Chain A
Amino acid sequence: DTAVSQTPKYLVTQMGNDKSIKCEQNLGHDTMYWYKQDSKKFLKIMFSYNNKELIINETVPNRFSPKSPDKAHLNLHINSLELGDSAVYFCASSQTNNEQFFGPGTRLTVL
């Protein structure tokens, strides 16, 4: 009965590869988010989708492309991975204008 789930939990890959992280929420929320937490634990929003529509797109390299096939899913695809992409990526969801619920995170390590 996990509320917000992410797969995989850990991802280790080589520079230049393309990878995806999946997120699913079963809370019936209409808004989903991707955050990046860097090595200093600083959390910053990357994207937000409301009813499958992109509403927040912070200054993120266009190698990062979110995709929302439906309201319950928001996937993050990353092309041509770089060392600096190593971080923990958190998915979150909320009902519009309410608190966000976070997934357990995906630790991405780029070698």
Chain B
Amino acid sequence: AQSVTQPDIHITVSEGASLELRCNYSYGATPYLFWYVQSPGQGLQLLLKYFSGDTLVQGIKGFEAEFKRSQSSFNLRKPSVHWSDAAEYFCAVGPYGNKLVFGAGTILRVKS
């Protein structure tokens, strides 16, 4: 059965510092991978997705993620965090785009 693990429940970084959010998945075939962001009281916004091709994926708001098949990982990165990036981030895996399985989320706090 497919599953997603986000090992970090909370992460705090200083504004301007780099960020990496970890995501490991378990899936029997080539996965479709997604990162979503949820601001307080809001819905989920898609940051980026990996379906195939280049394993380094660029997304919105300056985020990128790298698919590493050998490590079953799809970590999200940003070189310089802004205060407005404070939110909860969800990694998800699915066959194609249907029946997504989400991780438990990582709450990002940004210190000024």
Contact = CB atoms under 8 A, between A and B. Distances in A.
A102 B44 contact: yes
Contacts of B96: 96-98
B14 to A, nearest CB: 24
B102 interface: yes
A103 B43 CA distance: 6
Interface in B1-47: 34, 36, 38, 42-46
Contact of B104 (A41, A95, A100): A41
A4 B34 CA distance: 19
Nearest to B48: A99
A100 B105 contact: no
Contacts of A105: 42-43
* Consensus secondary structure, chain B interface: strand
Contacts, number: 55
Number of chain A interface residues as a range: 20 to 34
Interface residues of B, number: 20
A101 interface: yes
Interface string B60-83: 000000000000000000000000
A101 B49 CA distance: 12
Nearest to B104: A42
A43 B45 contact: no
Nearest to A55: B98
B99 A101 contact: no
B44 A97 contact: no
Interface of B: 34, 36, 38, 42-46, 49, 88, 90, 96-102, 104-105
Given A90-B43, A92-B44, A99-B34, 6 more contacts: A43-B105, A94-B97, A97-B96, A97-B97, A98-B96, A99-B49
